[in-house]
Structure 1
């Protein structure tokens, strides 16, 4: 499975909203627990050592507290994914189909969905966290502690202001993924179709 999908739940950090005063991990955890739903667009650039140009894909996402993440790829091909605490599912002609689980993917789903719910204890157990900047211009660096995560990532860098702007995944084999979020908003509730997608 693509290492990007093994930590796609990192998008849970999109739950960040404006922080008005000193930035610390407790306030970060509190902020993560607040937004119920976030909609937005994404551009993903996968940088592979063997290719001179990155592989670029675009689409939309829906992040919903207590539900999970809908990751709707539009180009270069159309494919819908759903990431929940049960794992990763892909939509086909027969509906949502669970993808085979792997230990690294299962572990990261657990970690980052915990972040979505504002539970930073799991994240702090498995990553060294380093924060810098201020509410409207901050950076969070995650360095793996566990051997399982160290096999996949060297580091994860997250930047943002009122909401997350980018997530950069630096992999141990030298490849990297840069995910840029655009037009993110927490003002819209789940649509009927989105509720149905999470309920299936």
Structure 2
């Protein structure tokens, strides 16, 4: 009888013990040292019938930041770190003003990719569904400033983030797809140099 009660208790508790939570997602996303991958960004504007599409590649390095290397429709390199956002100008990096909505969006993006749920919890209500290999995180803004910009942000992924959808209050929408990211390559010398400058 005692064995049966223990077994029943374990059966009841096991779904709770195996539930995928924010802490586990943060740990999973923070695990890789370096992530490389291509991206496709679709900007859906209310005023335009077709989305604006840009493509490029990115490099996310733990303790360094994010290189966002736009390749089409124009070539432009950005570096996003805790210090702010810089744009490549020839061989040098120029820091950009930190007060824009775009700067806030880029800081948010960095927190998402690095699995920094504590940073996100300050500004958003977080709701996670799914399991480690297929999950969806919904961010609903808490702060007045963010409520003016976003209705909601949806993030989906598996081992790594694969899709981010930013739903803006005025009806525009941005979708970022990062389907073929890999976490097996170290930083190249050029990438190390870009982060060091």
* Pairwise same-fold verdict (TM > 0.5): yes
Kindly report the root-mean-square deviation, in angstroms, between the aligned alpha carbons of the 2 structures: 1.8
Segments of 5+ residues of structure 1 without an aligned counterpart are: 1-20
1:40 maps to 2:8: no
If each structure's helix is expressed as a fraction of its own residues, which one has the higher value?
Answer: 2
Matching of residues 76-115 of structure 1 within 5 Å? 76-102=73-99, 104-105=101-102, 107=104, 111=108, 113-114=110-111
How many residues matched? 180
Q: Which sections of structure 2, spanning at least 5 residues, go unmatched?
A: 1-17
Question: Could you tell me how far 1:118 is from its partner in structure 2?
Answer: 4.8
Whole-Å separation in 2 of the counterparts to 1:56 and 1:111 = 21
TM-score of the superposed pair, with normalisation by structure 2: 0.84
Please say which of residues 67-76 and 160-169 is displaced more in the overlay. Answer: 160-169
Paired with 1:63 and 1:69, the residues of 2 have a C-alpha distance of 4
Q: Deviations over 1:6-58 (max 9, x none)?
A: xxxxxxxxxxxxxxx53101111222321110000000000000000000010
* 4+ aligned runs moved over 3 Å, structure 1: 103-119
TM-score normalised over the length of structure 1: 0.83
User: Is 1:70–1:80's contact at 8 Å kept on the other side of the alignment?
Assistant: yes
Write the deviation string for residues 164-188 of structure 1: whole angstroms up to 9, x where unpaired: 2210000111100000013200000
Measured in 2, the distance between the counterparts of 1:195 and 1:140 equals 31
Work out which structure has the larger RCO, using CA pairs closer than 8 Å and 6 or more positions apart in sequence: 1
How does 1:1-200 map onto structure 2 within 5 Å? 22-102=19-99, 104-105=101-102, 107=104, 111=108, 113-114=110-111, 118-200=115-197
